[in-house]
């Protein structure tokens, strides 16, 4: 079995490296470790933070990209979210969805923005003009978006009466939809519903991995909250799931064992971002990576 090298379009770090805190050298080293796993590209994802630190980390990531060609741009998952669906994010840093507020952190290296469409005040059109992918996430609405961020998580759920973000994500065939298939964030039944509802060429596997992933840490501070890892999942003190503790190659293996993996789920990320594939990953029958070439 062969398929394309993996692109991580939504993850916050790993091996103890946090994109909201790391320096450029740490990010470059992380890139080298990801490459060994068959990850040939990634969009460092910034969680909600102060304007000052967001701008600083954008500069840090851009600097790291000069030495690490795997960095494809920044995914901004923060600042423009709905407090009702904040998840682990700190709402003290949220800003209104206006062009003026976006210009406070604007940079041409931002390629994806997760936001709450129901709170939009002109920002979505501006981002589309800039050719930035707009994704609905941490929200209760939908609107004119290109994609949906970690479907089912931190959004209004499916209801048989009235619209919801999750329902809109399932029935809109033109919209790309992220899914965290780590066995923690989405139940098997919900995952099967998702896979039956969405066109196979609109599904994007993500890890949403935390900095604690593949590290020796059992607790850390992420998004201004203390996060605890019990060996299976990472949560805040109140039990809110903070993100995944697995990277995509491991998630592919989980799906493969359930007979739910489709190589399109990797290929779709290339199509979404108009990236030309270079190389391949080869798995054995148990979905262990046996060869990486790119």
pTM: 0.97
* Start-to-end C-alpha separation, the chain: 16
The mean predicted confidence, pLDDT, of the chain is 96
* Tokens 């909250």 -> residue: 225
Dihedral sign (CA 179, 225, 214, 269): positive
Instruction: Give pLDDT tens digits for 129-179.
Output: 999 999 999 999 999 999 999 999 999 999 899 999 999 999 999 999 999
Tell me what pLDDT residue 2 has: 85
Instruction: Please report, for residues 14, 177, 181, the alpha-carbon distance to residue 268 in angstroms, rounded to integers and kept in the order given.
Output: 23, 10, 16
Q: How many CB atoms lie within 10 A of CB 280?
A: 15
Q: How confident is the model at residue 213 (pLDDT cuts 50, 70, 90)?
A: very high
- For residues 64 and 157, what is the distance between their CA atoms, to the nearest angstrom? 38
Instruction: Please report, for residues 96, 121, 187, 227, the alpha-carbon distance to residue 79 in angstroms, rounded to integers and kept in the order given.
Output: 8, 14, 28, 20
Mean pLDDT value across residues 204-225: 96
Instruction: Give pLDDT tens digits for 94-141.
Output: 999 999 999 999 999 999 999 999 999 999 999 999 999 999 999 999
Do residues 70 and 31 touch, judged by C-beta distance below 8 A? yes
Tell me what pLDDT residue 278 has: 86
Tell me what pLDDT residue 226 has: 96
Tell me what pLDDT residue 257 has: 94
- For residues 243 and 96, what is the distance between their CA atoms, to the nearest angstrom? 24
CATH architecture of 2-293: Alpha-Beta Barrel (3.20)
Instruction: Give pLDDT tens digits for 30-52.
Output: 999 999 999 999 999 999 999 99
**Radius of gyration in angstroms for the set of CA atoms belonging to the chain, rounded to a whole number:** 18
Structure tokens at 169: 């994500």
* C-alpha neighbours within 13 Å on the C-beta side of residue 60: 21
Q: How confident is the model at residue 294 (pLDDT cuts 50, 70, 90)?
A: confident
3-state SS assignment for residue 189: helix
């Amino acid at each position: 079995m062969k398929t394309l090298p993996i692109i991580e379009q939504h993850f916050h770090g790993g091996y103890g490296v946090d994109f909201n805190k790391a320096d450029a050298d740490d990010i470059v080293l992380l890139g080298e470790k990801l490459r060994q796993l068959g990850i040939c590209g990634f969009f460092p994802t910034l969680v909600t933070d102060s304007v000052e630190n967001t701008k600083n980390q954008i500069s840090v990531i851009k600097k790291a990209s000069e030495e690490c060609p795997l960095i494809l741009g920044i995914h901004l998952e923060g600042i423009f979210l709905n407090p009702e669906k904040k998840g682990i994010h700190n709402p003290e840093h949220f800003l209104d969805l206006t062009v003026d507020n976006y210009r406070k952190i604007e940079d041409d290296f931002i390629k994806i923005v997760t936001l709450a469409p129901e709170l939009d005040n002109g920002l979505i059109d501006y981002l589309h003009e800039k050719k930035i992918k707009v994704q609905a996430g941490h929200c209760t609405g939908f609107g004119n978006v290109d994609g949906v961020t970690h479907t089912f998580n931190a959004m209004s759920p499916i209801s048989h009466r009235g619209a919801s973000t999750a329902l809109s994500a399932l029935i809109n065939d033109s919209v790309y939809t992220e899914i965290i298939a780590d066995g923690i964030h989405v139940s098997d039944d919900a995952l099967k519903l998702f896979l039956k509802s969405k066109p196979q060429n609109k599904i994007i596997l993500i890890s949403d991995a935390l900095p604690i992933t593949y590290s020796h840490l059992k607790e850390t501070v992420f998004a201004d909250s203390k996060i605890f890892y019990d060996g299976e999942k990472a949560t805040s003190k109140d039990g809110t799931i903070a993100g995944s503790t697995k990277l995509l190659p491991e998630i592919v293996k989980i799906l493969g064992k359930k007979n739910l993996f489709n190589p399109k789920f990797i290929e779709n990320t290339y199509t979404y971002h108009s990236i030309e594939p270079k190389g391949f990953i080869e798995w054995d029958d148990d979905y262990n990576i046996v060869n990486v070439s790119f």
